[in-house]
Chains A and B, each alone.
Chain A
Amino acid sequence: MSEIKIVNLRKQFGDFVAVEDSSFTVEDGEFLALLGPSGCGKTTTLRMIAGLELPTSGKIYLDGEDVTFNRASARDIAFVFQLFALYPHMNVFRNIGFPLLSQGVAKAEIRARVEETAKLLRIDHILGRSVSGLAGGDRQRVALGRAIVRRPKCFLMDEPLGTLDAEFREVMVHELRELHNRIHATTVYVTHDQHEAMAMADKIAVMNHGVIEQYGTPQEIYNRPASMYVADFIGSPPMNFMRFNSGLKRGTRSIFLDGVEVAVPEMGEDVAPGEMALGVRPEHIRFSDRSPIRGAVYGSEYLGTNQIVAVETAAGIVKARVSADRSFRLGETVGLEFSSAKLAVFDCASGRAIASSPNAETRHG
């Protein structure tokens, strides 16, 4: 088991920059989710860590050793491919045992370790089967088996649940996390699905256009998004943005939305006047008739335990997650109140979150 550290990693294909100066560290035994939309450079990053692609610049360290230009076969890393890449001409047993064969492990030990791995993944009953007839979930498990049988330094997984149907994906999310809890292998897990990332990862790196926008725990990413992009990408429905024009002074504890003062966490920096956005998660909105922030109900979506109500305000449409008890008429005027401590302020031009003090919350309602 080991630590993966990448420093200023960059990859260009011709003129196109697929991965831009990325840096992060995955600590020993940690599960990192590399999260971002399709085409943002997740696979490319993973392939560079694996040694399948050489970086244009930057360094990759495994356990402190610089492996940037080592061959893939010399890195002791396991990779689960998006489409699994199970060898079609080998049965399940031989697929799982294939990595051991390259290490010259004795036949008897290969058998023992393949069987042990298969038991762990509950596929010991299909060892003799051909891989071409397997169902999606079993193919997935065989691919995992081939990865873990060798007890590599770390695991790289490229959207391994992408091809499974929704129901089964849920099951596999739990299985994968459980497996991780048991073997504590350092893992980089690529996905475009925020739910998978949130449910499994210790840390998440959110990527966009080759840039890592934010790196942190799921809680940090969710509660304190570093950019409008992250705020918008995580959460469903995503964070609301209410636009306003203003400058900010360090230490400010309120902003004006359309003339209405809204308490926010204490601002940590000065910002020149320009277009700004107040970021509000749907669950941090309450309806209150006394609130001066008014809007008209635009639509609602009933979700059982709660409902999403869309409200048209002067600053745009805002979605609120509120209790399902109350029903709303379309066009009904409502007042909105925010949990001030949870608000975020963004600079629209750069998309960056304005530094703010999370401790400010105690002084605000």
Chain B
Amino acid sequence: MSSTNTTAHSVVEPTPTVKRIAGAIVILYALVTMVPLAWIFLTSIKSPPDSISYPPKIVFTPTLEGFCNLFTTRTRQTPDYIQSLPAPTGTCDEITRSRNMVIAGPSNYWPRFGNSLVIAFGSTFLAVSLGTLAAYGFSRFRVPLADDLLFFILSTRMMPPIAVAIPIYLMYRQFGLSDTALGMILLYTAVNVSLAVWLLKGFIDEIPREYEEAAMIDGYTRLQAFWKVVLPQATTGIAATAIFCLIFAWNEYAFAVLLTSGSAQTAPPFIPTIIGEGGQDWPAVAAGTAIFLVPILVFTIVLRKQLLRGITFGAVRK
């Protein structure tokens, strides 16, 4: 629309007052959502008694006890035995001994965290790759029954995935996929691929066909044109889609509890089990949660521009 008046304001440009109110609301909302995060972080550096004191302590002496308990398994010993040991080799050693315990070995936290990384990133990679190819196909070719297929793909998300938990549980047991990283990757890929197809189709629809056609006339095959011309222009959409897929796979709890218990267990079902080890070890749980939040935080911050464009569905694209 051409502007008819000389001011730079469009009709929808908010006034300064509106902007200030909106800003205040956003800040308030940010504070509210940050309270639990701050709580988790503070709890992770409290001592167990401080963590359950009431009213909650804002001022306290920080300690690494939560992190030590998170990373180790410990056994209780008599003070005499502990006295007889050589001098402690590190901070955790020292803290543990002060509680009349000794470190028995590393905990399962890092292996579980590693499982989460492998499964979440693996399924995200698969879902985004398959989704990109499918979206490209739907966008560019005359696929028979395309609308029905797209609806079918979307319909897989119309019920909560956990509604099919029992069939999947039985199926996985049959195929030996229970408690395997591969099984979890396949499962999360299947759930995410519908989201990926729909999101990415929107992005690819917006890339004019002329680019590929130009490349094909310039001597490239369709696959080369896709790789060299379409993909670079779809990076925004791919990044946004990847974040959504990753967040789902990273946080997923119900399937993880049901299908993983041992070697393929991810962090979400593992973290609550920390509580059981000797009383209510809230600092250790909080420490596990705090570390668990880091990858998504980093990923989101790195790709925040794309994420913003992704959730506005291309409206911001130039």
Q: Decide if B278 is an interface residue (CB 8 Å cutoff).
A: no
Q: Decide if A268 is an interface residue (CB 8 Å cutoff).
A: no
Q: How many Å from the CB of A317 to the closest CB on chain B? A: 35
Could you tell me if B224 and A102 are in contact, using CB atoms closer than 8 angstroms?
Answer: yes
Considering only CB atoms and an 8 Å cut-off, how many residues of chain A contact the other chain? 24
B318: nearest chain-A partner, CB-CB: A132
Cα-based distance from A150 to B229 in the complex (angstroms) = 19
Could you tell me if B233 and A88 are in contact, using CB atoms closer than 8 angstroms?
Answer: yes
Contacts of A78 in B (CB 8 A): 217-218
Given A72-B213, A83-B210, A85-B208, A98:B218 Cβ within 8 A: yes
Within B165-222, the residues touching A (CB, 8 Å) are 208, 210-211, 213-221
Given A72-B213, A81-B213, A83-B210, A146:B218 Cβ within 8 A: yes
Within B115-137, the residues touching A (CB, 8 Å) are none
Q: Decide if A280 is an interface residue (CB 8 Å cutoff).
A: no
Q: Decide if B232 is an interface residue (CB 8 Å cutoff).
A: yes
Q: Decide if A79 is an interface residue (CB 8 Å cutoff).
A: yes
Contacts of A98 in B (CB 8 A): 215, 218
Q: How many Å from the CB of B152 to the closest CB on chain A? A: 25
Cα-based distance from A355 to B216 in the complex (angstroms) = 45
A98: nearest chain-B partner, CB-CB: B218
Given A85-B208, A89-B233, A102-B224, A73:B213 Cβ within 8 A: no
Could you tell me if A81 and B220 are in contact, using CB atoms closer than 8 angstroms?
Answer: no
Q: Decide if A297 is an interface residue (CB 8 Å cutoff).
A: no
Could you tell me if A50 and B220 are in contact, using CB atoms closer than 8 angstroms?
Answer: no
Cα-based distance from A116 to B59 in the complex (angstroms) = 72
Cα-based distance from A163 to B185 in the complex (angstroms) = 49
Cα-based distance from A97 to B118 in the complex (angstroms) = 40
Could you tell me if B224 and A72 are in contact, using CB atoms closer than 8 angstroms?
Answer: no
Could you tell me if B218 and A81 are in contact, using CB atoms closer than 8 angstroms?
Answer: no
Give the contacting residue for A79; candidates B213, B224, B233; CB below 8 A. Answer: B213
Q: How many Å from the CB of A338 to the closest CB on chain B? A: 46
Cα-based distance from A75 to B213 in the complex (angstroms) = 13
Given A87-B229, A89-B233, A102:B214 Cβ within 8 A: no
B235: nearest chain-A partner, CB-CB: A89
Could you tell me if B229 and A99 are in contact, using CB atoms closer than 8 angstroms?
Answer: no
Could you tell me if B213 and A52 are in contact, using CB atoms closer than 8 angstroms?
Answer: yes
Could you tell me if A89 and B232 are in contact, using CB atoms closer than 8 angstroms?
Answer: yes
Could you tell me if A87 and B211 are in contact, using CB atoms closer than 8 angstroms?
Answer: yes
Could you tell me if A72 and B208 are in contact, using CB atoms closer than 8 angstroms?
Answer: no
Q: Decide if A221 is an interface residue (CB 8 Å cutoff).
A: no
Q: How many Å from the CB of B217 to the closest CB on chain A? A: 5
What are 12 inter-chain pairs, A to B, with CB distance below 8 A?
Answer: A52-B213, A52-B216, A71-B216, A73-B220, A77-B217, A79-B214, A87-B211, A87-B214, A87-B215, A99-B218, A102-B224, A150-B219
Q: Beyond the given A72-B217, A146-B218, please list 8 additional residue pairs across the A-B interface where CB-CB is below 8 A.
A: A50-B217, A78-B218, A85-B214, A98-B215, A98-B218, A103-B219, A146-B214, A150-B219
